Structure 1
Amino acid sequence: MRFVALLFLAGILVSCKKEIVKKVSMKEDVTILADDTFNGRETGTEGELQAAKYILGRFKEIGLLPKGSQGSFTQTFTFRPSLNPHEEAEFTGMKTDSTLTGTNVVGYIDNNAETTVVIGAHYDHLGMGGEGSLYREGEAIHNGADDNASGVAVMLYLASRLVKVDSVNTKNNYLFIAFSGEEMGLLGSNYFVKNPTIDTKKVSYMINMDMVGRLNNERTLAVHGVGTSPIFKQTLFANNKVDLNIAEHESGVGPSDHTSFYLADIPVLHFFTGQHEDYHKPGDDAEKLNYKGMETIGNYIYSIISDLDDNGKIAFRKTKNESEAVPDFKVTLGVVPDYLYTGEGMRIDGVSEDRPAQKAGLQKGDVVLQLGEHETKSMMKYMKALSRFEEGQNTTAIINRNGEVMEVAITF
């Protein structure tokens, strides 16, 4: 597909020069960004820079104005990566052999409004693997179709709708940012908030999309940051006319770029369709995405934006950091929880090899209702239950498997 991708990219850039607008589907955007051509889009590499050029070309084609540094579409930042996972990378203005340079791509719709809405998605990924990869069989290209070519594609879709002359959404300006450095610690969004190209005091709210490409059969969409403005919850549910199962999360803090804006006292909404077996692995490829689901999510977000168009600068509200409430525990079952599950219990989304859950015969789709004498009716109760056990202890788990309740023996 490398040759096809390069031809498509060349076509986009040529069409920009000729001012010919070609409608590009979300599937086409994902297919290009998740092609081997870009070698996994690792921050600071030539592959990421070429991906940035592609997005820049799409911004121009859509009709966005440049809003990066010095009148360009880009904002670069130089940093020294941290070798310690518990320490942050260090921003530095000096390029040396030990530094990398990331590139945010920034476009703008100027409606001469008093307030601006920021719409963002990161476009970097893990390159050939390395730190952050869950692949254990050597180097391989991590194309990151869901993470996060999907978010970029929905962002481009929203830009193409909001830029139209007949768009009814004219009471806000719109700033679109394709962030670099997210996988290395929210670097691009952090840098932008500290070095903004607009007046952030006039930002009404920020929308972030990270991994929105795998809407499941239950049509569950996780929305984080619901508590960061009093108006969000009502708006989310009033505009859910497409029967999405909304899994709402109050906190504005999470492992994606919306966090940088929340920490600057800006209301945020973050959209996410859940983890899966290809997360941070080479198998996260374009053909596995649910493009109809992405269109549904794009239209849903557009309706939210339209509803909030005449609300001016919406109120900000601080939320409890949900990650700080997680209890300490010394043991695990060795499962990936289904964070989109909204029923009672903890539903298993994946089972790790040679861990307590696999040894007990637990399977993907099982719902854990109780560990020992401790009910696990919610994710928090599940984690609190785990915190009661020590390594080597034996207990029982009550699970629901396809409607049948059963008891299994667990050894931690």
Structure 2
Amino acid sequence: MHLKKTFRAIIIFKLKLLAACCIIILSLSLSVFNCFAQSNYTISGAVSDENKKPIADAIIFVDGSEIVTTTDNFGRYKLNVPGLGSYTISVKMMGYDGLTKDVMLKTRAMTLDLSLTLHSVLLDEVKIGVDKKWQSDYELFKTQFLGSTPNAKACEIVNPEVLSFKMDKSLFTARANDILVIVNPHLGYRIKYMLKYFRFSQKIIGTMLHVETSYDGNTVFEELQGTNDQKQEWVKNRALAYRGSMVHFMRSVFSRRLLEEGFIVTQLSGDGNAYDDNKPVNFDTLETSRNQAFVTFRSTGLHITYNVEASLKLAEQKGNAISRKDKITNDVVLKYHSYLLPGEKQIVVDARGRTSVGYIQAFDIKGDWSNQRLADQVPFEYSPPVSNIK
């Protein structure tokens, strides 16, 4: 009798153990399925020429990301993107003009067909040799395009021969007849940049020298191969490039964590330069709509200070108790001052900090952000390391 009870108990125990294992396996399967489903967002379509003929081997990429693919023999492509949001899709093929399309992904899948036109080669795009004038123009372009930060000075443009320059009175312009390839050894990226336009001008107005640089294009990032020591250095440098950047700011707008992330935002008054960091604006009052994927706010003149210590003090004064684990790492002190002047009337921002029309179209940017150029950018998929402050 005792043996039967023991045997029955063992069977019951094994059945319970089997049931528990099944539940765990089912839970893990559902978790994996949910993770996959949540990241299963696609933009797909076909690329053709003006005569509707498919174009094979065209390069398709999501601007500002590491997402890139090529078309198949039928001109078809498919891009897997992180989720709902704003995207700029770019296509490049030798012999055709580059093309970009701004889209807003509001469902899991979108079809986007693209048509390319043949490229007309202009005479001034053809250079024979490199003279001193071209070299001096190139140095000017590099400084204004990449910036003057340590990251910028370390960058190398691999194919400068695709560039041509023109000076018309006080306006200096640059054009590229192919994708620019830039290596950024400080951040660990190879960048491919499809330049749309580049303009630089400087002129004296009254007694002041006014300098203005503007350019636009589409970017795709590739990870460089490196040693473990190099990769650790890249992690640190990327975090420094991200902190206080415009992408960091826009993500903080979306998450409603401006003060917690180190940003003090005040509205400009008077002549457009006056501000008071002790009176931060309640950004919620600028919002006009919000959902899980997008937030829309009214564009107005803003001054943005990035100063972690000062912003956390303000947050605590306003009664926002911030636990130590919520405070971002500030082992290197960064302090930035920037101005956002109205461009578009309404700005739509997604969770990754991307705006529907791009920063250049959305705002007139001045101050420190205007000096952070291509060499200080990270892909929009970038996530900063988790704070180690306890």
Query: What range is the shorter-chain TM-score in?
Result: under 0.3
TM-score by length of 2: 0.24
> TM-score w.r.t. structure 1 length?
0.23
Greater share of strand: 2
